[in-house]
Chain A
Amino acid sequence: MEKMIEIIVDGNSLAVTPTIIVLQALQEHDIDIPALCYHQALGGSGNCGMCMVEVWNTNSWEPRHACLLPVKDGLIIKTATPRLKLLRNWAAKVLLRHRPFNNIRVEELLAKQIQDEMQSQEDEWLEGSIKKLADNWSDGCVLCGLCIKICSKVGKNRLTYLRRGKKLCISLVRGQDDNASCGNCRACSHICPTGFITPNPQQTFTEILI
């Protein structure tokens, strides 16, 4: 049995194992932290920005990603402050631009984080210009990169990010001499948080996945 250490979350002290990260510790104690791009087997990547918590750092509270923060004895954390709500609000707004999602639960999770009602009239114009500014907008995929990670772990490591910035996309890169391109393990479709990779010819990386 490992020795437990103590962290303080919102004023309550929790006993946790010393080798885990904060997000895991919070989830073990049923503290609800929204996280989209985190998977236990793959570790955190700080991609979606939903799991922000505030950490006491000598003289001020600092916003940090719970999925990248290892637990430490005496760590003091806040999980719900006005600042965190604002940060999550914007992170959720950015992610919600990719709706509609196939997985309806993701949309609910994100919508819960939005504080103010968006102005519908201006928002339409904004949404239009955002999709015009980004070259290849994909509805339904938030580009979290979980599929890339799982493909490099259990699959044939064929998925990758291509391009950068506004034009970022996830693509399947075929090998030079094998036509069967992907191992067809469908790990990506199982891990996809938004349900984007589904047996739908228009929405898969490759027709072989169907």
Chain B
Amino acid sequence: MISRSELKGPSVHKYQVCKSGLESKKNPIGLATYKVPDFPVNVSLESLIAEGKITLCSNQSRINVGVATCGRAAGAMDIYNNLEKRDWCGAVRVFKVGCIGACYAEPLVHIRTPEGKHYFYGNVDMSIFWHIIKTAEEKPGTKTLPFLWAITQESKTGILRGIQDMELIKVQNSGFRDFFQPQVRRISGRCGLIDPENIAEFAAMGGFGALEKALFRLKRKQIIDIIRTSGLRGRGGAGFPTGDKMNIAYENADLVRYVIANADEGDPGAYMDRVLLESDPFSVLEGMMITALAIGASQGYIYVRHEYPMAVHALKKAINCAHKVGFLGNNVLGSSFSFDITLVESGGAFICGEETAMLQIMGGKRGEPQLRPPYPVRQGFQNHPTVINNIETLANIPWIILNGAEAYRELGTPKSPGTKIFCLAGDIKRMGFIEVPLGTSTKVLIEKIGAGDKESIKALQIGGPSGGIVPYKDFSLDYETVESAGAIIGSGGLVTLNKKRCMVDIARHMVNFMASESCGKCSICRGGLLELEARLLTLTSGKGYPSILTEIEALSKAISSISLCGFGKTAATPVTTTLTYFRDEYEAHVNGKCPAVFCKPLINFEIVLPCRECHACHSVCPSGAVKRRTDKNERLVVDSKLCIKCWACYEACPFDRIRIVSEELHGKDDRNHS
């Protein structure tokens, strides 16, 4: 006989192909006689919503701790474990949620009280536990306020479909308001409010409504028409109209079609796919299901990089969950539509986010981009029409189906409608994940949301390493304007660079990244980028020669014209854009000067008078370069031959008497000893 406790194994095993999954399949739970039912338990959407409401808007207080990757890095797991351990006497429940977007304020704890009030606490540490506990137990003490960031109230108590249903009633931390006010959370409204592993909470937040509408109230052609009129453009980088892509697959004579979600996100500084998958995986599944329904696919794949373990975990759980309640598998929601999703895990590489390279890997080959045409939408995975969409694009689809194309077009510009998620990083105070209408100006993003200092910002790097670096000025962020500036919106990474960054060194860093991530098939992309990197290295180490800038220009042109795929064609963009906008910096480097005093071989440290002789610099110098001069007026000097340019003295000096100089060298002989 088997005991009852042994029967509690997972009831559905048909969900994935990754290694760990195969292993668990081999030896599932040691139940020989127990037969896993291969039919899902059909649950209606209404009962799911009712179930979700119980935890989401209940009579108990609810504490949400953000434990996405950013939260964990800031130590949210400790906070969660401590709160979870406490005996709340049934009055409070603690949940793990995803990221709300304010990554600068992690760890973030958010409390919902039964009367619909939401309390936000940012930068939480052990010292304010007591206030969190008191707030959750509905006894707000007087000392709560200094640590509290904001209080919001649900517009209608008990109805919460996203962050847009809340009204700010008290703001303690004005940065918090500035961060959220310009944002429009259409597709990321649920992030950080729901338990990403709970399908019922997703449904209670308005999820699966679009799927139900598409299944029972719309025809397949109608779905495609709605997406087409909405003007949604692919969020992966190229900005191809999503509706047109669906239509091409729909009209193809081949009836076997696939949907693939591309979650191989590799741009440094962009992490919107990760946040969406970690915080709200069901919306991606819903988008995939609607796409599949429209084009007539019955199998979908999610291609996700192995470097996102939490996203992989969340997806596995989500797919498993959706199977259990009959939202995936045969006869979704009792209709005639059947759909299944398989997770493909792969080692992350920048080049594998390119759709043809991704298809190669899914076919078991080396990740090399292939010549297009044929485009995957006509002849893709296993030579069948394949619609490959970015995660963010898929997350947009349910919103459009639910609210209609006209409502979608209300925001954004006529040519790029809707909202876009950007990831702010770099030299700003408030970094994070934001969603704004397309066409929002950079001033709002950088100065209001990001709290960047207008005076000190020099440049913006938009669209990852194959995007461009453009000087910071006020311009609107939509596909056309950014393209005319020489960059691309790409996946939406926005790295702010301030005046202390050397543009030549940034360009060298980007080319280094591209040279390491190139697939290596075209010799001009592999070797040419290496040549380019070596030339930029020549500049940053002070060995420039007069003809080097023309060489760099010609080489960049050669790389983009000879390379076969999109990677090679755009690989030199950081160099060409910086050469256009910051040519003076390049010219200074040729002469051995770094205007941003960043490149180590080109700078020297000086102690300027009046020096108080506190010897702080002398005591921190690791190489003994700060010495006492032994001639008539004894004073401290930096010996440039011993100096390793670690900036320790500069940071140690309490009186700011250390100056960094970078001077142009004249003549070749001077250059040799530098």
Interface residues of chain A, those whose CB is within 8 Å of chain B, are 45-49, 52, 63, 65, 68, 86-87, 89-91, 93-95, 97, 119, 122, 125-126, 129-130, 133-134, 142-145, 160-161, 163-168
Contacts and interface: CB of A to CB of B under 8 A. Distances in A.
Given A125-B538, A130-B531, A164 B351 contact: yes
Interface stretch (B124-132, B417-425, B520-528, B608-616): B520-528
Closest 8 pairs (CB-CB, A-B):
A168-B520, A94-B527, A90-B558, A49-B562, A165-B516, A49-B524, A165-B518, A130-B534
Contact of A45 (B512, B521, B547, B559): B521
Interface in B527-578: 527-528, 530-531, 533-535, 537-538, 543, 545, 547-548, 554-555, 557-559, 561-562, 564
Contacts of A68: 371, 564
B349 interface: yes
Q: Which of A49, A119, A144, A163 has the most CB of B within 10 A?
A: A49
Contacts, number: 107
Contacts of B527: 94-95, 97
A133 B530 CA distance: 8
Contacts of A65: 562, 564
Interface of B: 349, 351, 366, 371, 512, 515-524, 526-528, 530-531, 533-535, 537-538, 543, 545, 547-548, 554-555, 557-559, 561-562, 564
Which of A47, A90, A119, A144 has the largest number of chain B CB atoms within 10 A? A90
A63 B538 contact: no
B409 to A, nearest CB: 33
Nearest to A168: B520
A97 B559 CA distance: 16
Contacts of B535: 126
A133 B534 contact: yes
Nearest to B533: A133
Contacts of A63: 561-562
A89 B528 CA distance: 12
Contacts of B564: 46, 65, 68
B336 to A, nearest CB: 44
State the main secondary structure of chain B at its contact with A: helix
A169 to B, nearest CB: 9
Nearest to B519: A164
B523 A165 contact: no
24 contacts: A47-B521, A47-B522, A49-B562, A86-B558, A90-B528, A91-B523, A94-B531, A122-B543, A122-B545, A126-B531, A126-B538, A130-B530, A130-B534, A133-B515, A133-B530, A134-B530, A143-B520, A143-B523, A161-B521, A164-B519, A165-B516, A165-B519, A165-B520, A166-B526
B509 to A, nearest CB: 13
Contacts of B351: 164
Contacts of A94: 523-524, 527-528, 531
Contacts of B522: 46-47, 49
B562 A119 contact: no
A122 to B, nearest CB: 5
- Most B-side CB within 10 Å, residue of A65, A86, A125, A166: A166
Contacts of A93: 531
Contact of A91 (B537, B538, B558): B558
Given A125-B543, A133-B537, A142 B523 contact: yes
A18 to B, nearest CB: 19
A166 B515 contact: yes
B539 to A, nearest CB: 11
